[in-house]
Amino acid sequence: MTDALVSVERLTKRYGTARGVVDLSFDVRPGEVFGFLGPNGAGKTTTIRLLLDLIRPTTGRVVAFGRDVRRSSREVRARTGYLSGDLRLYERLTPREHLRYLASLRGLPHLGDGEAIAERLELELDRPVRALSKGNRQKVGILLALFHRPELLVLDEPTSGLDPLMQQAFYALLRERVAAGGTIFLSSHVLAEVQHVADRVAAIREGRLELVDTVEALRSRAFTRVAATFRAAPPEHAFDGLPGIRELERRNGTVLLALSGPADPLVKALATYEVLTLDSHEADLEDVFLDLYREGGDAD
């Protein structure tokens, strides 16, 4: 895709005989939030390290800002902000000292947006990192990724340790970065957060890309979840063969069903049994992906 900010082209990384990622190809467009989803161990962090040239691929390549990442690694990183999923900080330094250090490495004569971001995240800048909680350490990582107004933000599990209020403050910062022309690559296993901020998402499973699509298109594939509790549970396979109906699981007298068409066949089938309670809600993005992984044997 010619207008892509980042192009991943048939990217494969193997660790000896162990699987890393296999034949990944996708694009990240300018000005979008691109969600990169998958369970732990699926290959998300390996992909990010390849994007940033922190490790080298076995085959394939990454192009960012029109340049091969391996050949122009320093230039690409200069235009990128990165938050690692395994954040490491200097324990004796304060967040302000971290800012000064990174600003000097980037050749900046000032702290950029650092102090303003810290205020919005309610982060005290002059306490040593060793005295900070997990959530406040995560705020330092967000601060260091954002303070220099990067064109590309690469974020690996960014809301880990943040309370709900700080998560909302973080999402507001992301929206402002996009409004200012930035692009965000957001890797997460928390699907609920991604569906609220992402324009498009990719799903990876066991190192292989399963799909790339818009959030809207994926939501259109969602089904309605129906939970019916019975006085006496219907026999196994009682709902097999009903159009648009699929049984998901049973527990404690409750049958959980997926409905992807008119409700009439299900209502008539339920009416043949004594139903104690009936609850339904439209599936969200999390349901879509759980269904995807369940079909491939990765329900966990």
Residue 294 lies in a domain: no
Quick one: pLDDT at residue 248?
86
- Looking at the structure, tell me whether residues 198 and 278 fall in a common domain: no
What pLDDT sits at residue 1? 44
Residues 66 and 197 in one domain: yes
CATH assignment of the domain containing 107: 3.40.50.300
Same-domain status, 181 and 129? yes
The pLDDT of residue 115 is 97
Asked whether residue 142 is domain-assigned, the answer is yes
Residue 210 shares a structural domain with residue 238: no
Residue that is written with structure tokens 């390549």 in the block: 61
CATH number of the domain at 260, please.
3.30.70
Describe the strand order of the beta sheet including 18-28 as a list of residue ranges: 18-28, 6-15, 59-64, 67-68
The pTM of the full predicted model, rounded to 2 decimals, is 0.80
Dist CA 198 CA 194 (whole Å): 6
Are 41 and 179 in the same domain?
yes
93 lies in the same domain as 138: yes
Same domain, 214 and 236: no
Q: Are 50 and 102 members of one domain? A: yes
pLDDT in tens, 45-101: 999 999 999 999 999 999 999 999 999 999 999 999 999 999 999 999 999 999 999
> Which position has the token pair 């998402």?
201
16-35 tens-digit pLDDT: 888 899 999 999 999 999 99
Is the pLDDT at 300 greater than 50, yes or no?
no
Q: Is residue 289 part of a domain?
A: no
Q: How far apart are CA 37 and CA 42, in angstroms?
A: 9
In this structure, the answer to whether residues 44 and 181 fall within a common structural domain is: yes
Report how far residue 33's alpha carbon sits from residue 190's, in angstroms, rounded to the nearest whole number.
15
For the chain, what is the domain count?
2
Is the same domain home to 35 and 152?
yes
Domain that holds residue 22: 6-219
What is the rounded average pLDDT of the residues 157-164?
A: 92
Question: Is 124 in the same domain as 273?
Answer: no
Q: In terms of residues, how long is the chain?
A: 300
- Where residue 295 falls among pLDDT bands split at 50, 70, 90? low
Output the pLDDT for position 2. 52
- Predicted pLDDT of residue 194: 81
Residue 283 has pLDDT above 70, yes or no: no
How far CA 290 is from CA of 53, 192, 205, 211, 220, in Å, comes to 31, 12, 12, 14, 15
Q: Dihedral angle at the C-alpha atoms of 20, 40, 284, 4, nearest 10 degrees?
A: -40
In a domain, 246, yes or no: yes
The mean of the pLDDT values for the chain is 91
Tell me the pLDDT band of 297, cut-offs 50, 70 and 90. Answer: very low
Q: Confirm whether 101 is domain-assigned.
A: yes
pLDDT of 217 higher than 70: yes
* Tokens linked to 206: 């066991």
| Residue 156 pLDDT level (bands cut at 50, 70, 90) | very high
Q: Based on the domain organization, do 126 and 261 belong to the same domain?
A: no
Report if residue 70 sits inside a domain: yes
Q: Is the pLDDT at 285 greater than 70, yes or no?
A: no
Q: Is residue 254 part of a domain?
A: yes
Cβ neighbours of residue 13 under 8 Å, at least 6 residues apart?
20, 21, 46, 50, 55, 57, 58
